[in-house]
Structure 1
């Protein structure tokens, strides 16, 4: 019986250690200084900073905004689509998590060519919290 407990404790410790390492890796990616050279990298740099709150599965919000060539925001983001459910507190938490992700991700470290290509263009990323049980 003791050996089963030891194995279970070791497995739980490994899972917790892996979760902590994943959180540290995500935090490092969120504040990366590696130059962003593509639209895909730009999207990933923003999404990696986003942590949807518990209970918001299925909620979705599309924001429209523009960035300067130095990776900073031009003006305020504007919601163009939302499916926020019926709980106002969860809806506010969901929107706040997205705005925090933008705040954490920006300014993006654009390469010179990417900064020139993206500057002033309208972007409209959609943020959708994964549904329960989805991978």
Structure 2
């Protein structure tokens, strides 16, 4: 039977690896060459390239699109949900910022296994501009 200290050391090592991966995915720079291996990492890679325009807090848009095995876009993304503001110019700027982020992020550097998993499947990330004071 393993000693208690061995078990605690193993648990701490696992926690540090998980914590490190979560921090890295949250701090992923736009156009990072690091391979994307999960849906969470895919979202982080796209969101890293997105900067919502000032004045768009609370606006939200869900895009539906598919990617090829190599991380390139298939067809054109389509909006499946939107909650935009009353100012048409701000709403257009918000949508444009999302399309620009997708354009910057793609092609995604997907791992072989991720490429197989997402190839041709519909993906639907939701982009929501944070309200002031939200995390």
Q: TM-score range by the shorter chain?
A: 0.7 to 0.9
Partner of 2:53: 53
2:123 partner SS: coil
Partner of 1:5: none
Q: Does 1:118 align with 2:112?
A: no
Partner of 1:84: 84
Query: Which whole-Å CA distance do the structure 1 matches of 2:132 and 2:114 have between them?
Result: 36
1:133 offset after TM fit, Å? Answer: 2.0
1:50 partner SS: coil
- Note the residue ranges of structure 2 that are not aligned, 5 or more in a row: 1-25
Query: Which whole-Å CA distance do the structure 2 matches of 1:32 and 1:105 have between them?
Result: 9
Q: CA RMSD in A?
A: 1.5
Query: Which whole-Å CA distance do the structure 1 matches of 2:79 and 2:126 have between them?
Result: 10
Query: Which whole-Å CA distance do the structure 1 matches of 2:82 and 2:36 have between them?
Result: 28
Partner of 2:44: 44
Query: Which whole-Å CA distance do the structure 2 matches of 1:111 and 1:46 have between them?
Result: 16
Query: Which whole-Å CA distance do the structure 1 matches of 2:133 and 2:42 have between them?
Result: 27
2:35 partner SS: coil
Greater helix fraction, Structure 1 or Structure 2:
1
Query: Which whole-Å CA distance do the structure 2 matches of 1:40 and 1:91 have between them?
Result: 27
User: Segments of 4+ in structure 1 off by > 4 A?
Assistant: none
TM-score norm. by structure 2 comes to 0.78
Q: What do residues 39-98 of structure 1 show as CA deviations (whole Å, max 9, x unaligned)?
A: 110010001110000000000000000000010000000000000111000000000000
TM-score norm. by structure 1 comes to 0.78
Q: What do residues 76-130 of structure 1 show as CA deviations (whole Å, max 9, x unaligned)?
A: 0000000011100000000000000000000000111110111000001000000
Query: Which whole-Å CA distance do the structure 2 matches of 1:114 and 1:82 have between them?
Result: 28
Q: Does 1:32 align with 2:35?
A: no
